Amino acid sequence: MDTATCPQCHQPVNSQAVTCPHCRTQLKAYGHPGIPLHRASKEEYLCDSCTYHADDTCNFPQRPHAKVCTLYENIEESKLYSEKQRYANSFGATLRNWIKRNQALMLLLALLLICLLIALSTT
């Protein structure tokens, strides 16, 4: 079971829970476990740290003073995520380039391996 923490009472709750079993705070939107409902802590608004506020793509009427929001995306987290993506992409590209450059070598190694297997199976 995946656990999450209730933003209201800070008790561990099932990440699929629609409401907190301890304090009855609503955790998910529309009663659906797959739709997270984000909640601002007391003195701030969600929009202040939201990606869609920063890039001006949000057109929800509650912006910029949203206390709860289903679409909220933390700007720091998404920055981290895209950096990780970039890193993963560049690693993949490096690997692909390496394989391309060393194709002949790889082919030779594969052939050698096949010969070895044949030799082993015939003895």
Interface with ligand SF4 (CB under 6 A): 46-47, 50, 52-53, 58, 60, 62-63, 66, 69, 71-72
Q: Which of 5, 9, 26, 90 binds Zn ion (CB under 5 A)?
A: 9
Q: Spell out the SS3 assignment of 7-71.
A: CCCCCEEECCCCECCCCCCECEHHHCCCCECEECCCCCCHHHHEHHHHCCCCCCCCCCCCCEECC
**From ligand SF4, Zn ion, none, interface partner of 22 (C-beta below 5 to 8 A by class):** Zn ion
Mask 77-116, x = binds Zn ion (CB under 5 A)?
----------------------------------------
Residues whose CB is less than 8 angstroms from the CB of residue 34 and which lie 6 or more positions away in sequence, other chains included: 28
- The least distance separating ligand SF4 from the CB of residue 101, rounded to whole angstroms, comes to 45
Mask 13-52, x = binds Zn ion (CB under 5 A)?
-------x-xx-x---------------------------
Find, among 12, 28, 11, 10, the residue nearest to 2 by Cα: 12
In one-letter notation, the amino acid at residue 6 is: C
